[in-house]
Amino acid sequence: MPRETLANFSIERLEILDPRGEVDANLLPDLTDPQFLRLYELLLLTRLADERALNLQREGRLGTFPSSLGQEAAQVGSAFALAPQDWVFPSFRELGVFLCLESSLPNYYRYWMGDERGQLCPPELNLFPINIAVGTHLLHAAGVAMGARYRQEPLVAVPYLGDGGTSKGDFYEALNFAGVYRLPLVAICQNNQWAISVSRRGQTATETLAQKALACGIKGIQVDGNDVLAVYQATIEALKRARSGGGATFIECETYRMSDHTTADDARRYRDSAELESWREKDPLLRMRRFLEHRGLWIEADQQAQEQALLQRIDQAVEAAEAVSPPTVEEMFRYTCHQLSSRQEEQLKECRDGRA
C-alpha cells in the first residue's frame, strides 16, 4: 500500500503595527481617527488602572491581584470589535476587556477587594463573572453559542483564556463541540508565555497554540498580541465568519506577561531577566502612541492631559469601591447555590455565631 498525504495545513500569523509605530497600509483596519484615539485611551486606562490595583494590593487595600501589564492590546483590541449582543466569558486577567465594555471600574476593584458583589453583571452587559478555574468557562461559552444557534440569534460567544488553558481538557471539549456544530464562538487566547512558573515550551510541544484549532475542525490564527490593530482585525473577521454561519475561530494572541502571575508570585525565581527586557520594546502602548504621532494625532501635551484625566477617574473609582459597606455573612452564601445544603447551613450558622 502506498504512503500518501491526506491533508496539509498551515497557520496564518497577522501583524499590522510594528514596534516603531509603522503600519502595513494594506492591512490597516477600517477605523476612523477618533477610533484610533479611543483605542489608545483604553490601552492607557487599562495600564493605569492596573498599576493602581497593584499599589492598592501592596497597601493592603486589595487582595491577591493578577496584573495585565503588557497584555493590554490583546484585551482591548479584541473587545473593541465586539457587538453589544455578543456574550463575553472572561478568565481572571481581563481588566482591559471590562474597561472596553464600559463595565464598572469600582465594581471591578470591589471584586478583587474580596467583595463578590463586585462582579454582579449589570443587565445592559452580556458579561459572565470572572472565572478563576482555568479553562472551565469555555464550556459555558460553547453552551451559550449552541443556544444562540437554536434560537437563530446573531450573537457570538467569546471566551478569554491564557496559554495554560489550552492544555486543559475543557478547552478541547469546548472547541471540538464548536467544530462539530459550527457554533458562533470566537476564543481569544492570550499566550503570555508563562502558565504561572511553567514556560510555554514546558507545557506543550506544538509549534503554535493556534494549530490546536485544526484538530477541532475550526480556524486557528496567530496574531501579534502586542499589536492592537492586528488583534482587532483578526477578531472582527472571526466575528463576521461566526455570524454568517462559518463556524468558530481560535485566536492566539502572542504577547508577554510583564508582571508576576499574581501578587502572590515572584517571577524572578523562574524567569530570565533578559527575556523580560527583550519584550519591553514591543510594548503595546508605546507602538500605538508612535503610530498616532506619525499620523499627527498625538503630542506630548496630549499624553500628560489624558493621564491626568484618567488618573482622576481611577481615583474616583477607588473612592467609590471603598465607600461601599462590607457584605453581610449571608451575602457570602447567597450566590453560591439556589438552596444551601445542610453542610452549608451549618457553615453559615458557624459564621453567624463567630465560630468560623
Catalytic positions = 257, 261, 270
Enumerate the β-bridge partners of residue 188: 160, 251
233 Cβ contact list (under 8 Å, min separation 6): 14, 16, 27, 29
> What is the C-alpha to C-alpha distance for residues 268 and 324, in angstroms, rounded to an integer?
36
Amino acid in position 121: C
> What is the C-alpha to C-alpha distance for residues 185 and 141, in angstroms, rounded to an integer?
7
> What is the C-alpha to C-alpha distance for residues 27 and 30, in angstroms, rounded to an integer?
9
Please state the length of the chain. Answer: 356
User: CA–CA distance from 187 to each of 68, 83, 178, 183 (Å)?
Assistant: 18, 15, 10, 11
Sign, CA dihedral 102-105-111-116, equals: negative
> What is the C-alpha to C-alpha distance for residues 307 and 191, in angstroms, rounded to an integer?
28
> What is the C-alpha to C-alpha distance for residues 42 and 61, in angstroms, rounded to an integer?
24
> How far is C-alpha 101 from the geometric centre of its chain's CA atoms?
12
Of 127, 120, 122, 123, whose CA–CA distance to 86 is shortest?
A: 127
The CA radius of gyration of the chain, in Å to the nearest whole number, is 21
Q: How many Cβ atoms are within 10 Å of 112's Cβ, its own excluded?
A: 22
> What is the C-alpha to C-alpha distance for residues 348 and 332, in angstroms, rounded to an integer?
9
State whether residue 18 is helix, strand or coil.
coil
DSSP E strands, the chain: 12-14, 87-89, 157-162, 186-191, 194-195, 198-199, 219-224, 249-254
